[in-house]
Amino acid sequence: MPESDNIVVETAERIFADLADPQEVNRDNKGDWKAPLWKALSEAGLPLAWVGEDCGGSGASLADGFGVLAAAGRFAVAVPLAETMLAGWLLSQAKIPSPDGEMTVAPASPKDRITQNADGTLSGRARAVPFAKSARHIAVLATGTNGCSIALVEAVACRIEAGLNLGGDHSDAVTFDRVQPLVIKSAPKGFDQTSLMLMGGVTRSLQIAGALESLLDISVKYSNERVAFEKKISKFQAVQHNLARLAGESAAAQAAATSAADTLANAKAWDDAMFLEAVSAKIRCSEAAEKGGAIAHQVHGAIGFTIEHILHRYSLRALSWRDDFGSESYWAVELGKRIAARGADELWPLVASR
């Protein structure tokens, strides 16, 4: 695993290495590893890294938080760390203090809408909300007649239908039936559902890029250990070609995700440059998840498909993260619409500026 000179990321990596070793987690069918991991993460202030100290968080920078997410992807962490970080970030946009414990955000799809009623209650249905079943609170972006609002809602106040994503993690449907939020405030000017989806998309892009790094490391190590026809399979040209392709997909995802994260960390407004970076990262990383996962399983052969092997912990989660906060096909259409609206003469200057 790559080392970091950032103390926040180093702390996260040490916790993951000690309490979220993929092989040990894969052997634990009861999930006993989750509570100690969450406790350690909470004591380090990582779930509320993006929340200012005045709102109950640790006040880390966006860049630090993005580094933690990439590390979480490298360990295929299956607790709602990214979701709680994102929920805390959303609440902080309206200066709403974040509670302790696991959180998630709704909606988690650009096509779903939560409506703020005239009496301040919330109505609507959000599909595929990650870890909603295990969350204590939900940070909600709602749309009303006067624009967008941000609300903190107790999960028990909602109707939650349990579901699972490809990685076996909760991806649930949440119904808001005139739910009374604990707190609700107006969102900042210019902040809307697209803003939340872009931030969520970059979050997932970093996790996918991290998972692909591990898929590459695991595949290279296996190819140097597995012997067939009296020589390591890493000596076969076909395997070398596949590993080179996997390395290319991993590098492309890493470049796209880190570029988008850097843009968001330094941006002053939700402009076209930020849209281009975030959407391009989600599209490219999602494509890499599909291609990279397939290559890694090809290198491993039959053993990579067994439940006992850790490969699926990375490949299936990377594939499931593709759909969160908008799939690559959705964002490809939205990117095309925006480029068409700007006109052909504006495309190259925008791309070249990145």
Q: Quick check: 12 and 43 in contact, CB under 8 A? A: no
> Does the bond joining 107 to the residue before it have cis omega, within 30 degrees of 0?
yes
Is the pLDDT at 177 greater than 60? The verdict is yes
With respect to residue 338, please indicate whether it lies within any of the assigned structural domains: yes
Quick one: which of 159, 89, 169, 156 has its CA closest to 130? Answer: 169
Is the pLDDT at 352 greater than 80? The verdict is no
pLDDT at 304: 83
292 with 245, same domain? Answer: yes
Number of domains, the chain: 3
Is the pLDDT at 70 greater than 90? The verdict is yes
Joined together, the tokens standing for residue 59 give: 């006040």
CA of 91: how far to CAs of 69, 97, 153, 340, in Å? Answer: 19, 7, 11, 34
Q: Could you tell me what percent of the chain has a pLDDT over 70?
A: 98
Is the pLDDT at 353 greater than 80? The verdict is no
347 with 213, same domain? Answer: yes
pLDDT at 16: 97
pLDDT at 76: 95
pLDDT at 302: 83
Strand residues in the chain grouped as ranges (E)? 103-106, 114-116, 122-130, 137-144, 147-154, 159-161, 171-179, 183-186, 227-228, 231-232
287 with 332, same domain? Answer: yes
70 with 209, same domain? Answer: no
Is the pLDDT at 295 greater than 90? The verdict is yes
243 with 313, same domain? Answer: yes
Q: How many residues does the chain have?
A: 354
Per the structure, the complete domain to which residue 9 belongs is given by 1-77
Q: Could you read off the pLDDT of 89-120 as tens digits, one per residue?
A: 999 999 999 999 999 999 999 999 999 999 99
Q: Could you read off the pLDDT of 195-222 as tens digits, one per residue?
A: 999 999 999 999 999 999 999 999 999 9
Q: Cα-flanking dihedrals φ and ψ of residue 269, to 5°? A: -155, 165
124 with 267, same domain? Answer: no
Is the pLDDT at 2 greater than 50? The verdict is no
Is the pLDDT at 141 greater than 60? The verdict is yes
* Mean of pLDDT over the chain: 94
Quick one: which of 329, 77, 180, 161 has its CA closest to 68? Answer: 77
302 with 158, same domain? Answer: no
Q: What is the mean pLDDT of residues 46-51?
A: 96
322 with 307, same domain? Answer: yes
273 with 329, same domain? Answer: yes
Work out the burial of residue 289: count CB atoms within 10 Å of its CB; fewer than 13 is exposed, 13-18 middle, 19 or more buried.
buried
Is the pLDDT at 23 greater than 70? The verdict is yes
Number of Cβ within a 10 Å radius of residue 349: 9
Which carries the bigger pLDDT value, residue 271 or residue 278?
278
Is the pLDDT at 1 greater than 50? The verdict is no
pTM for the whole thing? Answer: 0.94
Q: What is the mean pLDDT of residues 66-85?
A: 97
pLDDT at 5: 55
324 with 248, same domain? Answer: yes
206 with 289, same domain? Answer: yes
